[in-house]
Amino acid sequence: MNQQPDTAPVKRNIWLRGVLMVLMGMVYQLCGTLLFLVALMQFVVCLLTNEPNARLQAFGRGLGNYIRQIAKFLSFASDEIPFPFSDWPSAD
C-alpha cells in the first residue's frame, strides 16, 4: 500500500533532453551561419540575373522552418525533437 512516486524516468528524460538541447543549440548556431551564406548567395544571384533563385528560396524557407523548430524545442514550446530525429521541415 505504501507506494513511492516513480521519479527516475522523468529525471532521465530531462537529462536526455538537456544533452539534446546542447546539441540542437550548436546546430542552431550552424544554421544561422548557413542562412547568412544562403542570403549572401541569393543577393549575388539577384545582382547578376535580376531575379532570385527558386532553389535557394525553397532551401531558405526550409532552413527557416528548421531554425523555428529548434527554437521551439530549446524553449520547451515543443517536445518534438527536430531533424535528424524527425523529418526535415517542408518549405511551405
**Of residues 16 and 3, which shows the higher confidence score?**
16
pLDDT tens digits, one per residue of 21-70: 999 999 999 999 999 999 999 999 999 999 999 999 999 999 999 999 99
Three-class HEC string of the chain: CCCCCCCHHHHHHHHHHHHHHHHHHHHHHHHHHHHHHHHHHHHHHHHHHCCCCHHHHHHHHHHHHHHHHHHHHHCCCCCCCCCCCCCCCCCC
Cut 0.95: pTM above it: no
pLDDT band for position 1 (cuts 50, 70, 90): low
